[in-house]
């Protein structure tokens, strides 16, 4: 039984007219998002275009829904002649029995189905998270020899996850950016097996889909330079970027969240954002008690202690209320 049969409810192409066909594309780039990440994805699409104006790119957006305001903004990006944007609306019932967290919604599993849906029309697809910013050319990526591997990825530092999951190849990858050979992905039934593992033992996998993909792609991953998925945690890092970075991946707090505005990397991100239809969209305000705690810490870092005290108080009240 094909668990992914009829999972796509509707496909919508945002471009009314295009100057190239999908088969002529230099890159196919895919996203898996819910409505909360449409802004980040839109800014990323614009940034990719700005650094790759000579490349023909098709963007495949897998989602369970996008707010109309964000959809209208995405349509404005189709003024660029070298891109096509397609929206694939997903029936999320397939994933309803898989685990989620406050940080990861069902959208984290949408990367499973891209290979299934695009099979037969696309040979390779670059999957990237929407909390990434592109600051360089992609041209070099398509010349990397994948050999017999299914994906290109970057390894995370440390051996904790390698030992925790028994990864034989000795490296654990971050799934925020994966260059995928679709034919090999489908032949190995990665999507079906990933869902199966999560259904069998969901408690085992701390990082959900990322963990099971590491298990299934153990020995089938070609590890490439970290410039293709440079992990940057604004909660802990205050360093400048190394030279040559192509993708900055904002793990942890995001540059469009109010509690991140103190960090200098937010100004860097906003240089890209202000060129897009999301330029004047307000920052996301804290709602959950964990966000309010982050807000308090943000004011501490700016030596604004009275404001920090206010937010610590709001955090405490919200946490108590949430537990009732």
- Distance, in Å, from the CA atom of 232 to the CA atom of 268, rounded to the nearest integer, reads 13
Return the pLDDT at 156.
92
Provide mean pLDDT across the span 276-280: 97
Domain ranges of the chain: 8-230, 286-324
- Distance, in Å, from the CA atom of 35 to the CA atom of 132, rounded to the nearest integer, reads 16
1, pLDDT greater than 60: no
CATH architecture of 8-230: Alpha-Beta Complex (3.90)
Provide mean pLDDT across the span 146-158: 94
179, pLDDT greater than 90: yes
Longest pairwise C-alpha distance within the chain: 59
Provide mean pLDDT across the span 294-312: 95
- Distance, in Å, from the CA atom of 164 to the CA atom of 150, rounded to the nearest integer, reads 23
What is the total residue count of the chain? 324
Return the pLDDT at 99.
78
* 30's tokens: 């895919």
Contact 32, 62 (CB under 8 A): yes
Under the banding of pLDDT at 50, 70 and 90, the label for residue 158 is confident
59, pLDDT greater than 70: yes
- Distance, in Å, from the CA atom of 160 to the CA atom of 156, rounded to the nearest integer, reads 10
23, pLDDT greater than 90: no
Q: For residue 82, which phi and psi values (nearest 5 degrees)?
A: -100, 10
Q: Please tell me which residue, 19 or 67, carries the higher pLDDT value.
A: 67
Contact 162, 66 (CB under 8 A): no
Return the pLDDT at 324.
60
Return the pLDDT at 183.
96
Residues contacting residue 171 through CB under 8 Å, at least 6 positions apart: 155, 162, 221, 223
CA distances, 270 to each of 163, 176, 211, 247, 264 (Å): 39, 21, 32, 15, 10
- Distance, in Å, from the CA atom of 256 to the CA atom of 39, rounded to the nearest integer, reads 9
The end-to-end CA distance of the chain, in Å, is 43
Contact 15, 84 (CB under 8 A): yes
The residue behind tokens 């904790």 is 160
In tens, the pLDDT along 86-117 reads 999 999 888 888 877 767 788 888 998 898 89
Return the pLDDT at 173.
96
137, pLDDT greater than 80: yes
DSSP state of 77: G
Q: Where are the alpha helices (DSSP H) in the chain?
A: 38-51, 68-76, 114-118, 160-165, 182-187, 190-200, 208-216, 264-273, 289-301, 305-323
In tens, the pLDDT along 206-236 reads 898 999 999 999 999 999 999 999 999 999 8
239, pLDDT greater than 90: no
Under the banding of pLDDT at 50, 70 and 90, the label for residue 142 is confident
State the chain's mean pLDDT as an integer.
Answer: 93
In tens, the pLDDT along 70-83 reads 999 999 999 999 99
Return the pLDDT at 102.
66
Provide mean pLDDT across the span 270-295: 95
Three-state secondary structure of 288-324: CHHHHHHHHHHHHHCCCHHHHHHHHHHHHHHHHHHHC
């Amino acid at each position: 039984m094909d668990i992914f049969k009829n999972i796509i409810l509707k496909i919508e192409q945002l471009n009314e007219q295009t100057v190239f066909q999908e088969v002529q594309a230099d890159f196919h780039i895919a996203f898996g998002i819910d409505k909360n990440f449409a802004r980040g994805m839109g800014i990323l699409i614009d940034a990719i275009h700005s650094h790759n104006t000579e490349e023909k790119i098709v963007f495949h957006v897998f989602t369970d829904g996008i707010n109309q305001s964000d959809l209208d903004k995405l349509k404005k990006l189709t003024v660029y002649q070298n891109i096509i944007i397609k929206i694939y609306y997903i029936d999320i019932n397939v994933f309803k029995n898989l685990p989620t967290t406050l940080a990861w919604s069902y959208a984290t599993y949408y990367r499973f189905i891209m290979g299934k849906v695009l099979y037969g029309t696309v040979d390779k697809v670059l999957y990237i998270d929407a909390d990434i910013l592109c600051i360089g050319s992609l041209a070099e990526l398509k010349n990397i020899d994948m050999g017999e591997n299914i994906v290109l990825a970057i390894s995370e530092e440390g051996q904790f996850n390698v030992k925790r999951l028994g990864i034989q190849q000795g490296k654990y990858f971050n799934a925020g950016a994966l260059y995928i050979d679709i034919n090999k992905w489908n032949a190995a039934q990665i999507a079906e097996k990933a869902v199966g593992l999560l259904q069998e033992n969901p408690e085992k996998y701390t990082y959900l889909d990322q963990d099971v993909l590491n298990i299934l792609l153990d020995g089938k991953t070609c590890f490439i330079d970290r410039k293709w998925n440079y992990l940057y945690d604004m909660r802990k890092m205050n360093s400048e970027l190394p030279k040559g970075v192509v993708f900055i991946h904002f793990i942890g707090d995001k540059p469009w969240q109010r509690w991140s505005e103190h960090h200098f990397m937010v100004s860097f991100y906003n240089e890209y954002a202000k060129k897009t239809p999301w330029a004047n969209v307000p920052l996301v305000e804290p709602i959950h008690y964990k966000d309010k705690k982050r807000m308090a810490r943000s004011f501490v870092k700016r030596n604004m202690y009275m404001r920090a005290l206010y937010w610590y108080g709001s955090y405490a009240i919200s946490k108590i209320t949430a537990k009732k």
